[in-house]
Amino acid sequence: MAFALAGPADLAAIVAIEARSFPFPWPPEFFLAEFGQPHSTTIVARPAVGEDHQIIGYLIFWTLFDEMHILNLAVHPSYRRRGVARQLFTEAIRRARSRGCQTAWLEVRPSNEAARQLYQSLGFQLLMTRKRYYDDTGEDALILTRQL
């Protein structure tokens, strides 16, 4: 697996994965806004050398003071359940630690069982619930955290 920082040239591939991953995907302008923020990092994953070098997943996170906030993660449906998300997390945590981050946190829908299982396996624990957090459905958000 190869990782790189994403930029505007990667937008179409990221938006395509986003659209196949979520019922209410981020619009392209959300991704473009993240590319321009100094505290925001978007990492893309590609298959190993010798394979097609298309983007197969991405993870967006912020580093603010000593905290890492994971905003968005998706893996192309053809590459799910192969460890891509776990490897994206490992790379993102490595980068956040190098910037002095000590804690990571994220929001997840209670209905997203696959993501919840991944986050639990990565050591994230429930901190609190935010009621009616998601505008699209009114669903709560589980706030998960872990030490880096």
In whole angstroms, give the CA distance from residue 37 to residue 33. Answer: 7
Beta strands in 1-148 (DSSP E): 2-5, 40-46, 57-64, 67-75, 103-108, 125-130, 141-147
Kind plus residue range of the DSSP H or E element containing 80:
none
List 79, 107, 134, 139, catalytic entry: 107
- Do the beta carbons of residue 130 and residue 107 sit within 8 Å? yes
Please indicate whether residue 107 is annotated as part of the active site: yes
What are the residue numbers of the active site?
Answer: 107, 119
